[in-house]
Amino acid sequence: MIREMTDTDIDKAINIWKDAMPLAHKNIPQEYWDTLLPNILDELKNADEKYVYVEDKMIVGFIDTGR
């Protein structure tokens, strides 16, 4: 199910992002993703539209449209 993201969903979405980036880009060091985290969190919090994908009552994905 896809639904609008709430403020309480943001931590889970960020954790998904933190887990996915090193897997998708194995040649980029973890430290790089760590430096981007504050910007990604800010973008996600301020996105005009953001949604989560929920499966078995767990958030397993997300998307945002930016500002």
Confidence of residue 67 (pLDDT cuts 50, 70, 90): low
Q: pLDDT tens digits for 5-14?
A: 999 999 999 9
Q: What share of the chain is helix, strand, coil (3-state, %, to 5)?
A: 50, 25, 25
pTM, 2 dp: 0.85
Write down the mean pLDDT value for the chain. 94
What is the structure's pLDDT at 33? 92
Q: pLDDT tens digits for 15-29?
A: 999 999 999 999 999
Q: How many helices (H) and strands (E) would you count in the chain?
A: 2, 3
For 42-57, b where at least 16 C-beta lie within 10 A, e where not — what string? eebeebeebbbeeeee
